[in-house]
């Protein structure tokens, strides 16, 4: 083997090792944050040129009337909406697939997730299913290639725990096999996250407390993780404080 070829192999190997050590940091393209941010939901959807959305929320939250401010904002902007209420608990594939069918049949042009991690994960999976008609959640997990999401996706978290509004991951329980399906795709990152801490005032206190402890745990883990970076540690430190 010539010296030039050996040098090329070594250089390529070092380049690959360096590339693998690089960390990627992703956030939603837009974030509205602050008390009353929920009132901007309608204008955000209007900017997308969409006139009808599917709202995915938790049936308990809907019963408590927590999404009322969001519904008002949508109506004020002339945005029509359908509502799909998820049962309390982790999202299951049959519910997610049913929501995708409802969104397709009703002609919705965007998905709005309102609730805790379960509602957000379910909405993200629905948006991906709509871009891959005919496929199930299980098929999305195992497919070598899937179409990226094309429909606008807005995430409105009501708890502090999961951070699903800022990840490219969705976890859905398979209704048949009773195993968790992990969907990972760049397009699962929402286009907009609306962070309104006032929404937590309407959530049952035990849920707010439990998810708050969950958020603290995640922050500590992020700070001490082997893959931590100066940016993630700064955010984790702020979250812990």
**What's the confidence (pLDDT) of residue 1?**
61
pLDDT over threshold 80, residue 20: no
Cα separation, 116 vs 181, in Å, equals 18
Dmax of the chain from CA atoms?
74
Tell me: the pLDDT tens digits for 33-51? 999 999 999 999 999 999 9
Least confident of 11-15, 138-142, 183-187: 11-15
Q: Would you say the pTM of this structure is higher than 0.85? A: yes
DSSP 144-175: S--PPP-S-EEEEE-SSS--GGG-SEEEEE-T
Q: Which residues pair with 52 in a beta bridge?
A: 80
**151, 110 Cβ separation under 8 angstroms:** yes
Please name every residue paired with 181 in a beta bridge, in sequence order, or none if there are none. 172
User: What's the pLDDT at 236?
Assistant: 92
Quick: pLDDT tens for 22-35. Answer: 777 778 889 999 99
C-alpha span between 66 and 3 (Å, rounded):
69
How far is the C-alpha of 121 from the C-alpha of 202, rounded, in Å? 21
What is the pLDDT at residue 47? 92
């Amino acid at each position: 083997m010539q010296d030039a070829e050996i040098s090329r192999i070594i250089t390529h190997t070092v380049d690959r090792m360096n590339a693998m050590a690089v960390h990627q940091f992703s956030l939603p393209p837009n974030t509205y944050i602050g008390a009353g941010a929920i009132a901007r939901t309608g204008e955000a959807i209007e900017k997308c040129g969409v006139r009808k959305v599917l709202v995915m929320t938790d049936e308990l939250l809907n019963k408590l009337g927590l999404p009322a401010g969001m519904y008002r904002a949508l109506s004020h902007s002339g945005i029509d909406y359908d509502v799909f209420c998820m049962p309390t608990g982790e999202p299951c594939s049959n519910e997610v697939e049913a929501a995708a069918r409802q969104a397709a049949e009703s002609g919705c042009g965007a998905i709005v997730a309102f609730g805790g991690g379960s509602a957000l994960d379910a909405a993200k999976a629905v948006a991906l299913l709509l871009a891959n008609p005919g496929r199930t959640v299980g098929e999305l997990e195992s497919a070598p290639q899937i179409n990226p999401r094309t429909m606008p996706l807005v995430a409105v978290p009501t708890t502090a725990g999961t951070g699903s509004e800022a990840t490219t991951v969705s976890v859905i329980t398979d209704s048949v096999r009773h195993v968790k399906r992990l969907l990972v795709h760049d397009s699962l990152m929402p286009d907009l996250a609306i962070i309104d801490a006032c929404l937590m005032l309407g959530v049952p206190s035990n849920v707010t407390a439990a998810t708050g402890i969950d958020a603290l745990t995640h922050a500590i883990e992020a700070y001490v993780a082997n893959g931590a970076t100066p940016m993630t540690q700064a955010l984790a430190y702020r979250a812990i404080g």
